Structure 1
Amino acid sequence: MAMVQEKAEAAIPVTTLSPPEGNTTFLGGTSWCVARPGSSPVDLQIALDWACGMGKADCSPIQPGGPCFQPDTLLSHASYAFNNYYQQNGNSDIACYFGGTAILTQNNPSYARCVFATSE
């Protein structure tokens, strides 16, 4: 496997394997992982099911009655789940792929009572 390189910054240790130089936190800010607009609905659903299942993302806020359930769209729900997984897994670019259905952004996707997790 790839050798893990230590960074000189004070970072919270994570137990996930990521490629060297895999951290993609943008300079001077935080990054979020969201669903890529224009992705195939089938691919998005598969990725969302994986994130909320085997990926162990916290998907309770996107359940009916949760603060992130509205808008009730696949893109919105996948964005929340993808970001939750990404933040739990050390903000590495490999944790924001989901078969090509995810993309990094510097724009905070939080809205109303729906707060997207950050690494800070």
Structure 2
Amino acid sequence: MNYDAPAYDRSSLFCFPLVLAAGAVVQEKAETAIPMTTLSPPEGNTTFLDGTTWCVALAGVSQVDLQNALDWACGLGMADCRAIQDGAACFEPDTLVSHASYAFNNYYQQNGNSDIACNFGGTGTVTKNNPSYGKCVYSSSGSEVSSAPPLLKHYPSTMWWKLAELLLLLFLGSC
């Protein structure tokens, strides 16, 4: 028996799984005369128009809650807490509020400067006052907190997302 194989476009078979693997959300813009497909940006990135912000621990909250939040930030939260270790630049003053403030801010800066990234169970708050002191410098949205190789530090991380999005759109356009 001779069966006619269905005509498949090889690029179509490859493009659909690529979109699924990329985790992109495809949506059609209804307000345009010609339907236009766009990809949504990654969640959690926030840009503030009103200046630089930091996240610090609230004074006067429960010491137990503050310690739990500090433990989470330096543990599962993966904040870089080396600067608050004994003998490091931000160890003094050796207080729970000071150490928690440094850890909270490090986590906050690494996670898009959103209010939710400074909650810590109600023990953190966003401030526009730079909490840095002496040799202890708190990172800010304008400073580099990346552990990427020096070559990659010169380009904002959003540029890499834009480049990846552009390449994906170009590829999908050829499908």
TM-score bracket, normalised by the shorter chain, equals 0.7 to 0.9
**Corresponding residue of 1:105:** 127
**Corresponding residue of 1:82:** 104
Q: Report how far residue 37 of structure 1 moved.
A: 1.1
**Equivalents in 2 of 1:103, 1:37: separation in Å?**
10
Pairing 1:10-89 to 2, within 5 Å after superposition = 17-18=43-44, 23=46, 25=48, 27=50, 29-89=51-111
Q: Report how far residue 26 of structure 1 moved.
A: 5.8
With the length of structure 2 as denominator, give the TM-score of the two structures: 0.55
With the length of structure 1 as denominator, give the TM-score of the two structures: 0.80
Q: Report how far residue 25 of structure 1 moved.
A: 3.2
Q: Which has the higher helix share?
A: 2
Contact 1:24 1:93 in 2 (8 A): no
Q: Report how far residue 102 of structure 1 moved.
A: 0.3
Instruction: Give structure 2 stretches of 5+ with no counterpart.
Output: 1-24, 26-40, 143-175
Q: How has the CA–CA distance of structure 1 residues 76 and 26 changed in structure 2, closer, same or farther, with 3 Å as cutoff? A: farther
**Equivalents in 2 of 1:25, 1:51: separation in Å?**
23
In the alignment of these two chains, the number of paired residues is: 103
Q: Report how far residue 23 of structure 1 moved.
A: 3.4
Q: Percent identity between the aligned chains?
A: 65
RMSD between aligned residues: 1.9
Deviation >2 Å, runs of 4+: 22-26
Instruction: Give structure 1 stretches of 5+ with no counterpart.
Output: 4-13
Q: How has the CA–CA distance of structure 1 residues 78 and 26 changed in structure 2, closer, same or farther, with 3 Å as cutoff? A: farther
